[in-house]
Structure 1
Amino acid sequence: MTMKSLLLGAAAGIAAIGTAQAADLPMTKGEAVEYVKVCSAFGPGFFYIPGSDTCLKIGGEIRADYRVFGGTGFSRDDNRSAFGTQGRIWFDARTETEWGLLRSYFQINASGRTASATGLGTQNKFEVDKAFIQFGGLTAGYAHSFFGFYDNDYGNTIWAPYYAESSTVNLLAYTAQFGGGFSATLSIEDGRDHRADNTFAPFQNANGDLVGYRRGGQQFPDVVGQLRLDQSWGGLAVQAAIHQNRSGENFSIDTDGDGIADTDVINPHKSKVGWAVGATALVKIPAIEEGHFIVEGQYANGATHYLGSGNTISGTSDYYLAPVGVFGQGKAGKGWSVVAELGGNITPVLNANLVGSYIDTKYDNAWGGGLDYGVKEYTIAGNLTYTIVKGLTVGLEVAYTREQTDNSLISAAEGETAAVFKDVKRNVWQAGVRLKRKF
């Protein structure tokens, strides 16, 4: 027998043994592949999270803004042109349960190189836009206030201000549905999110009296209620809110420059409840795709944040305190505001909106010595948005704002020098372009 015959015989033997052992091994299957499935129950873009009955939608957009400003009242520290970029991403998860829809929504915005008025201290800015849970009629978390619905459902300006409740707040709310499109909501909202301003530094008024205001801590939250009717032709809503105004601890300042704080108490303890009421009307225009006319108005006493007062050029507080012993103390700001919008798609790729808004606020004896403070402001804005391709748009907006401030504080006191007050009128216009990619 040759060496070649021996090698072939050995190989055949080993193969036979291997085959016999392999026959004794258990047969196994490959791991099952679970593919992502489309979820059509909640509209386009949702898919089932693998291994669950929860539907998820992930979306986002990039905004690139380019603006110019003009008008009166500008200083060398103010920008006359400004560029900005913002990225947004959101997650919408929904599950049908035997108790109703369970939903969670989260959105975060990231602004690139946000600049101060002078361009110093630029930085990237990340902020939570919304984060809330809905279960049946319950809404809990960081969501849009239930006072009005213009800002949340429409509010179709690109940059221009308008005067209405436009805040996302921490809240706990319940909405009851009664059929026929009628619903009622009771919402408990954090009052700290409904403050138009926080602190005024102390100074001397025209009479030499010390004036100042430091806001105190919150004792109870805001209470907001809304009745709403939604129909195919449009909708109606009425809403009301109560809001606490409370001063902080007393404080004093050194007015004579001797290094010792004077004993003048310029922040007397006050705690009062402000309120606001409003109404919204929406009419849909069937002759135009997404055509609509909506108007929302509100009146407030001691709760001017609900008027959109923080959106004015000057910005105003919910509350002013007169100095001790001067024509009383604790004067609440009051006023009214209105916003109206007409809009829709002129063509399938061209959308247009025209928005007008007005606010009138007054603060009796705000500075003491009988000096009332007041702000009247209106804004008119128009924009066109053209869809270049699906998901990519370019928008152009032009807006004009006029403000009149009565008894505006021009300069604070130094030592015994009293502050100066005068009526101020300002006109501001802005124009700009926004490129937006949405996915």
Structure 2
Amino acid sequence: MNIKSILLGSAAALLAVSGARAADAVVVAEPEPMEYVRICDVYGAGFYYIPGTETCLKVGGLVRYQIDWKDTDDGWKKYSAARLKLDARSETEYGTFRRYIELHWQNDGGTQGPSGYSDTTDMWIRYAYFEVGGLMIGRNDTLFDGGIDGEFDKGGGAFINQIRYTFDAGNGIAVSVGLEEEANNFDYMPLVTGKVSIAQGWGSVNLYAAYDDRFSEFALKGIVNVKATDALTLQAVATYESGATWLGLLAPYSGYDWSIGGYVKYQVNESLSVGAGGQYFGDRHYGDFVTGRTVDLNANDWAIGAVVDYKIVENLNAKLAVNYNDGDSYPVDGSFSGFLRLDASF
């Protein structure tokens, strides 16, 4: 046996042993690739894709602290509030599919109740609806909702369950119709509402109409916004009610036959704006549920107010409002009221 044969035999033996050990080795699986949160810029800033889906989600909200004052009260009224907003959107063959939820918590102060919760703490759903194409179903502002800026005006409307369809005609023109449920067990006939919106570079015009079968009455409203300059905005509102409706200017089934008002807003700079205006209300009325008729109170009232809005820093805004109300509905020489509000949003 020569040296060459010995070396070849040794090499073969080593290869055999190495192969056996390799067969017994544990194979470590490759880690699955990590899926990072992706930004969704289709619907604007703040949206991101829910992992594993093509649905975009935006989370937002605000924290509010407000101090209210009225000259007929003996002290300040203060409350804190929080809102959580969830906005989910995706695309379908019928258009954008949107799901929106907004929850509101509010504490008006007071003593501590059971389990450490204040007896004046409330939580409610402000919005809960979905949209696909032009169809919207759920809890939203009534289609009749709308008013001029300021904190003195009365425009009628509130949150309500509804079915609504909006047709976008293009060029800033849209037409909407809605069926709204004013309350459970009134009857099988919902509120019928309609709105025509025109938005152009110079401003906008919004026309509203509503019919309430409860008292067989209707309501009309028109709002005009004109951008006089880049800083100056002029607004006007006019309303008409044939009688008591759920969309009354004061409260459901309480309002005025007619009203007219205006507001002027001036943007001083990026952070500061000021505004002032007033509204006159003619022939106050309410609905008598016993007789099913509208009762005329023969009262005319008016209101004026001023507002200062200031952006302290990004996402932190302050609002100061002062109002004065007077007329036949006020037994004394009118009433002053106002508030200071701080909103911290995200």
Q: Would the TM-score normalized by the shorter structure come out above 0.5?
A: yes
Q: Mark the CA change 1:244 to 1:347 in structure 2 (over 3 Å): closer, same or farther.
A: same
Task: Name the structure 2 match of 1:294.
Answer: 235
CA distance in 2, matches of 1:379, 1:362: 14
Partner of 1:80: 75
Q: Closer, same or farther in 2 for the Cα pair 1:105/1:228, shift >3 Å?
A: same
Task: Give the percent of matched residue pairs that are identical in Structure 1 and Structure 2.
Answer: 24
Checking the alignment, whether the CA contact within 8 Å between 2:177 and 2:193 is kept in structure 1 is: yes
Question: Hey, what's the Cα distance between the residues in 2 that align with 1:28 and 1:344?
Answer: 66
Partner of 1:395: 319
CA-CA distance at 1:274 after TM superposition: 0.9
In structure 2, C-alpha distance between the alignment counterparts of 1:139 and 1:133, rounded to whole Å: 6
Residues 86-125 of structure 1 mapped to structure 2, 5 A cutoff: 86-113=81-108, 122-125=119-122
**Counterpart pick for 1:127 among 124, 128, 133:** 124
Which residue of 229, 252, 258 maps to 1:336?
258
Indicate whether 1:229 and 2:198 are aligned.
yes
User: Secondary structure of the equivalent of 1:374?
Assistant: coil
Partners in 2 of 1:243 and 1:363 — Cα distance? 15
Which of 162, 169, 172 pairs up with 1:171? 162
Counterpart position of 1:38: 39
Distance 2:338 2:207 in 1: 34
* Within-5 A mapping of 1:290-369: 291-310=232-251, 317-318=253-254, 335-363=257-285
Aligned residues between the structures: 320
Aligned to 2:22: 20
In structure 1, the residue matched to 2:10 is none
Instruction: For 1:190, give the aligned amino acid.
Output: E
- 1:372: how far off? 5.2
TM-score using structure 1 length:
0.66
- Residues 282, 293 of structure 1: 8 Å contact kept: yes
Aligned to 2:14: none
Gaps of 5+ in 1: 1-14, 194-215, 246-271, 311-315, 319-332, 406-422
Structure 2 unaligned regions, length at least 5: 1-16, 112-117
Q: How many Å apart are 1:379 and its aligned residue?
A: 2.0
CA-to-aligned-CA distance 1:295-330 (integer Å, 9 cap, x gap): 2221112234434222xxxxx845xxxxxxxxxxxx
| Segments of 4+ moved more than 4 angstroms | 15-19, 363-368
Q: Provide the rounded CA distance (Å) in 2 between the counterparts of 1:364 and 1:352.
A: 35
Cα-to-partner distance string for 1:276-299 (whole Å, 9 max, x where unaligned) = 1121212124422xx532222211
- Show CA shifts across 1:51-106 (max 9, x none): 11111111111111123221xxx4xxx55321111111111111122211111111
Higher relative contact order (CA 8 A, sep 6+): 1
CA distance in 2, matches of 1:18, 1:123: 76
CA RMSD of aligned residues (A): 3.0
1:424 paired with 2:331, answer: yes
Tell me, in whole angstroms, the C-alpha distance in 2 between the residues paired with 1:53 and 1:45.
15
**2:247–2:253 contact (8 Å) kept in structure 1:** no
Q: CA deviation at 1:17?
A: 9.9
Candidates 173, 180, 183, aligned match of 1:189: 180
Correspondence for 2:301 among 367, 370, 377: 377
